[in-house]
Amino acid sequence: MSVITPLQALPIEELRQRSSTKWRRYPAEVLPLFVAETDFPMADSITRVLARAVQLGDTGYTPPDPGIRDAYAGFARRRFGWTVDPSRIRTTCDVMMGVVELLRKVTQPGDRVIVTPPVYPPFYECIPEAGAVVERVPLIENESGWHLDLPGIEAALAGGARAVLLCNPHNPTGTVHSRETLAALADLAAGFGATVISDEIHAPLVHPGILFTPFLDASPAAARIGYTVASASKAYNLAGLKCALMITASDDTARVVRSLPDEVEWRTGLFGALAAVAAFAEESDPWLDALRATLDDNRRLLAELLAEHIPGARYRVPDAGFLAWVDLSTLGWGDNPAVKILRDAKVALHLGPLFGEEGKGHVRINFGCSPAVLREAVERIGALVRT
């Protein structure tokens, strides 16, 4: 078995030359560990394809099939053991736009859509944008981790909820739901004639020893009533290039996606499509494996740093991704401790309450950075504990 060399983050002096939100929202003395951008060099295969496009002036409209359907099907087969029919994939601008368009098709104005907080803040915005109403069924935490509250979801469906907006892997907890859990969710939804839309944007970043199950592959019922929305943007740091995939696994759901207006697909960015094709190609797998090795190291390093410098912090090492959900409520820094941390430690973290009521006293930390930056950030916060 070959040894995987972890990916090295770029020097912070170079990162500060970037013009993205992570590096422009706050002044230079602030360490930015908030928004879900990572600090690593782009995969060579993606750099080459984008550089060639710029050289050619290839900046026009996205073609009907830029190759992303076949590229993603190959990626899903290699990485997840999942067989995807390329003809059942359409693209759009980004994952949340795909979610909104699907919700408009599968719900009526005023219908309730279940979310499982603490959860990605745009979930609370995209559901009303589609004309529906948010229904909260919080995750349950116990000694073994975070879990869907299946009885709570059943009660909400029995009460008339028409869809579940699932986050798998879950943001911010990093939870990867088991095949059994997903199959049970699918059975519940099917039994009440409801739909599940699964945001699987963090799926490429599942950590070693964790088995990821795509929702549509969880069971025949999941394939029949589910939709998956995915993108290369989180794993390969391509959020600014605008390309997401809407994936189905049955004739009925495929017809729904095909019925979306052509403009939904026209919103796909050409650079996003070109970059995604390169990202999902087998050539990029070694880069992805190197990134996963780095994130695996960092998620464990963060546990050590918190224990050393902020012993009151409560953190469960995530199953996937580069985001850490940390409970700081014992420190007495109020419902939104990220405010004090930004002001006094000059470290920007994501605001816990934005993820729902369950986020009070919490912060989300982006550990997709160098160990040195992660260490300095935690040390700065730890200094507040000692004062």
- Angle at Cα 127 formed by Cα 362 and Cα 336, nearest 5°? 15
Instruction: Say if domain 12-41+285-386 classifies as CATH 3.40.1710.10.
Output: no
Please name the residue ranges forming H helices in 81-115. Answer: 95-106
Query: What is the CATH number assigned to the segment(s) 47-283?
Result: 3.40.640.10
Separation CA 50–CA 70 (nearest Å): 19
Separation CA 189–CA 183 (nearest Å): 10
- Prediction pTM value: 0.97
Q: Take residue 233 and report the two structure tokens written for it.
A: 């943007």
Written as tens digits, the pLDDT of the chain (387 aa) is 567 899 999 999 999 999 999 999 999 999 999 999 999 999 999 999 999 999 999 999 999 899 999 999 999 999 999 999 999 999 999 999 999 999 999 999 999 999 999 999 999 999 999 999 999 999 999 999 999 999 999 999 999 999 999 999 999 999 999 999 999 999 999 999 999 999 999 999 999 999 999 999 999 999 999 999 999 999 999 999 999 999 999 999 999 999 999 999 999 999 999 999 999 999 999 999 999 999 999 999 999 999 999 999 999 999 999 999 999 999 999 999 999 999 999 999 999 999 999 999 999 999 999 999 999 999 999 999 977
Separation CA 47–CA 53 (nearest Å): 10
**Where are the chain's structural domains?**
12-41+285-386, 47-283
The answer to whether 203 and 169 are in contact (CB under 8 A) is yes
